[in-house]
Structure 1
């Protein structure tokens, strides 16, 4: 780290010189435009600018790509913050390729097919960052994930295949919300103007991203339980069903309470209590898991064990959110 003294110029302006090696590396010269952004901790970030409102673009030759490579390329470009993606196939995009692209686009918020030719398909993000509320999207993701969990447990206990399939379908909505949050978090690391437009600091964006990540994992476990509901031939026995429902309900409360501290400014003391509650739940789940050794059917015991593991994981993800809430409280205290 290099230290430089602040100078007073003209009696009213503070100035500091830029390191010449850095300026040359960034093609900065007299008259160049630099963007300055200050964080809550007092850090000032300096970044060369390409011009106000510059669009991030990417042109990718996908001639030799298979369907999964196409999907991953589009998703990676979107998450990376690209505004305009041009997919080039020198041999021409066939009907199957176009269908794969359309299906992938449908899974991403704000993206649409902007232009098509025989050899090029242009995708463009249509959402203005100023119209995006990261906090609201995370709150919505939390609601979706918890609703999926409740319905998945109900589907298992009632042996409701239709409800289970609905839970599995809703996993796409959870993925779409998480991908949107991840896009803006990733881009904020490199685009200072974006941070100003969405009116969230980078530490806050990281916290929202982290909570969204836990919620996305909770939704995945809901889908996992729902798939078990579609595969079981009979509902679980009453004893297990009662234990499973009670433990699952406690895990939801942990997630709901912990996320409320980050997303709704609830009392941080709640986050400290959540850690104790989670430990108690994990111990009770492990007790229930040991009882599965008494089951005569190995396949049934295994199925129940997977369900209990998802309950435990859900609680642990909620506890991760509580830990984030505590870290945020400490960060804000230090900033005062």
Structure 2
């Protein structure tokens, strides 16, 4: 639909009136006496919302036989696209493998259920209203989980606790679920700017939350990686100096992670800059640890190298969040 120009009329000396485009009114079934919702935006635009919003059209996809892992990745991508209804069909009777992948999708993501199915199709409905679980709450929940995962992964390194290491790996799935939800909500905001207003933020603020969520998801991945390699150290006699170096820098990385997210939520420019400065100052951790690793048994030196890399990446990602926090502050100021 092409843009149309309307002249503003004034009635009663104080009421401003413009006419609605006929094609838009007809396509949205606007009738005399209907109410429309007006959404004034900070950038000066005014969004007109019809009395009923469809919440997104049904998306239909024809699926072909492929490996369960490949199919699940595709289904997650379709979920993140922000469709409220997804109808999956096959040209012949749907295989059990494909049905299992669709069921796995509904188990792995937030808010979806299978509402109808037959021999050649499955209909999935997204029942979650994005405004009921806004981005700021979801991202904060991701931070709480990822922070806990990172701290527990380091404990599993120091105490050789395989059960704790396994628990960290299981929690990574929950962080992924929340990240996919954030990505889906952001994509829905791109399609429907009104949604951002309903969540109490602008589209650009939503972009910042999406960027922070992506970074937190990566930190959770590295916590999971540390937990995996910690199991290789269960029977290792690691040099105490090496372990002390790992523990000290892990505590610093955890603190930087917490401060970066705090700076983002509180829009604290000073704290964000301080976090970035500390990360830059302490960037030589891996080099210090590398000098100790050759002294260790070669059977677990590789595990220590991967663990040290992930710890340093958590600090680096914290600096990334702090940079997003600075953008968040300047966005509010502009």
Q: Is the CA contact 2:232–2:303 (under 8 Å) kept in the aligned structure 1?
A: no
Pairs within 5 Å for 1:216-227: 216-227=217-228
**Paired residue for 1:257?**
259
- Secondary structure at the aligned position of 2:70 is classed as helix
CA gap 1:287/1:197 in 2 versus in 1, 3 angstroms: same
| In structure 2, C-alpha distance between the alignment counterparts of 1:228 and 1:96, rounded to whole Å | 32
**Paired residue for 1:192?**
193
| Stretches of structure 1 lacking an aligned partner (at least 5 in a row) | none
Q: Deviations over 1:283-321 (max 9, x none)?
A: 2x1332331464264443322121111111101111111
Q: 1:247 aligns with which of 245, 249, 260?
A: 249
Q: Is the CA contact 2:152–2:165 (under 8 Å) kept in the aligned structure 1?
A: yes
TM-score (norm 2): 0.86
**Paired residue for 2:86?**
85
| In structure 1, C-alpha distance between the alignment counterparts of 2:244 and 2:44, rounded to whole Å | 53
**Paired residue for 2:290?**
290
**Paired residue for 1:310?**
310
**Residue 267 (str. 1) matches residue 268 (str. 2):** yes
| In structure 1, C-alpha distance between the alignment counterparts of 2:240 and 2:278, rounded to whole Å | 25
Q: Deviations over 1:46-74 (max 9, x none)?
A: 69989523433211111334323321232
CA gap 1:38/1:295 in 2 versus in 1, 3 angstroms: farther
| In structure 1, C-alpha distance between the alignment counterparts of 2:65 and 2:100, rounded to whole Å | 17
- Secondary structure at the aligned position of 1:106 is classed as helix
**Residue 101 (str. 1) matches residue 102 (str. 2):** yes
Tell me how many residue pairs correspond in the alignment. 322
TM-score (norm 1): 0.85
| In structure 2, C-alpha distance between the alignment counterparts of 1:165 and 1:29, rounded to whole Å | 55
| In structure 1, C-alpha distance between the alignment counterparts of 2:106 and 2:6, rounded to whole Å | 50
Pairs within 5 Å for 1:30-45: 39-40=41-42, 42=43, 44=45
